[in-house]
Amino acid sequence: MAIEIESSELRRITNDFSDAQKVGSGGYGDVYKAVYNGEAIAVKLLHATKGIDDKQFIKELRNHMKVQHPNIVRLVGYCNEETKKYIELPDGTSVFGRHIYKVLCFEYMVGRSLDKRLSGISLGDEWCTHYQIIKGTCEGLCYLHNGCESRILHLDLKPANVLLDKSMKPKIADFGLSRIYTASRSHTKVDSVSGTTKYMAPELIRGSMMSDKTDVYGLGVTIIEVIRGPGGFEIYHDSGDTNFVEDVCAYWRKRDSRTNLYQVETCTKIAVRCLNHDRRKRPTIKEIVENLNGIETQGLSKDLHALTVNSCLPIPDKISTAISGRGALDVVIVYAFDCTDSTPAWYTVDNGIFWLVQEKLTNLHDSCMGYIYVMSTPNTYTSDMKVVDSAETKQTGYTGFAWRRMTCSKNMASGLAEAHKMISNRGHHNGIILFFSDGLINNGDFFDGT
């Protein structure tokens, strides 16, 4: 929970907002790096202008305090305080007057802002990093639009307002700040605060009513720049929809042979739809996230196109509620973890795909103990926790569900990483690994079930 921090304390930890601790400056204020209660934080001192709306500031502050999502920058503290102090005038004289501190303090993001990465520090050549940023940004925006008590519009979504942590996870920042400054400003003034009109939807520039589709437009431009670089929007503008999609796919085909071109094509088409000048024809962020969630399953299905279904095998329509705790489901639940920090997460895989893989397993060995491993990215591995025991054979079908969770050891993670590289080098972004006994896999010790 964010706490109120006195202005005197903020001046202390920022050395009176010294230039030595300033790490950024934008249309809304200056940002200083500081340490508070042992945690590195970013202190955003909002510009003091007569145009600032105090009631709107309180409203947006409350919105920030309610928001909790992995892809939204976490608010640590705030200050909304008026003090009296000597203020130095341009002519060198000083007067005793009031000074208003409006400050927002956030978790410090060591990966810097996305625009800095795009223009200077490279995001790297691996498509999976770019896709992680695209999907995480979309999930953060979806939360703002659909996951809160009331819909929150960002109204200034662009790479400068997407921050990255040490693992390149994206987190949206500065949502709602434009409304603090716009109450007493014309739309021309809003442009100067936002910094550029490139990310602004046409209806926002015209002064029309704002909506969730306004954010979707800014998201579209951001996705294009993640996919094609900081000059991507200009390339799109010059080439048109169809040619641009083909250009992006060709660009990534040359850039990284391991790239999942299906993901590239899907993300590019989503971005193009977001840029429709008719906001009614733009997708909602919920539709976008659903589209992205379907990429992994569809991509896996393509990789397994050579497998055939044994019609005598039952395909259950319900999985034990003990697996997910959310009631009956018609999908197979799979467990995912990141090999860097072992943070758990839940994903779903289409039922039919699971049974295709399961049949492949029993065709290879009538009776064995093992697990099926489904790769998603080089850093994140998704595994079903289905134990294959001797009682479940291809003759009798799978009548029981012996599910259990298992811990990922360092050896296992490094072995899977190595195995994934080998599978990716063969042209399969998604692969399947079957391993036996205790489930451990070490470098170079794996069975390629693709």
Burial class (CB in 10 A: 0-12, 13-18, 19+), 118: buried
Contact 269, 249 (CB under 8 A): no
> In the annotation, is 156 catalytic?
yes
Instruction: Please name the residues in contact with 322: beta carbons below 8 A apart, sequence gap of 6 or more.
Output: 403
Q: CB count, 10 Å around CB of 3?
A: 12
Contact indicator for 63, 152 with CB cutoff of 8 Å: yes
The DSSP-derived string for 411-428 is HHHHHHHHHHHHHHHTT-
Phi, psi of 201 (to 5 degrees): -65, 145
Instruction: Find the distance separating the first CA and the last CA of the chain, reported in whole Å.
Output: 47
Question: Which among 310, 312, 302 has a CA at the least distance from the CA of 263?
Answer: 302
Contact (CB, 8 A) for 60 and 2: no
Q: Are 315 and 329 in contact (CB under 8 A)?
A: no
Residue 102 marked in a binding site: no
Q: Which residue has the tokens 């193009």?
A: 272
Query: What order of strands is seen across the sheet that includes strand 447-448?
Result: 344-349, 332-338, 380-383, 370-375, 432-436, 447-448
Going from the C-alpha of 104 to that of each of 42, 43, 176, the distances in angstroms are 8, 6, 12
Residues whose CB is less than 8 angstroms from the CB of residue 33 and which lie 6 or more positions away in sequence, other chains included: 21, 23, 40, 41, 42, 43, 108
115, 125, 156, 174: the active-site residue: 156
CA gap 335, 347 in Å, rounded = 7
Residue type, position 15, single letter: N
User: What residues have CB less than 8 Å from 285, skipping those under 6 apart?
Assistant: 138, 141, 142, 145, 146, 212, 215, 216, 219
Burial 388-398 (b: 16+ CB within 10 A, else e): beeebebeeeb
- Known binding-site residues equal 44
Which residue numbers are catalytic?
156
- Known binding-site residues for ATP equal 44
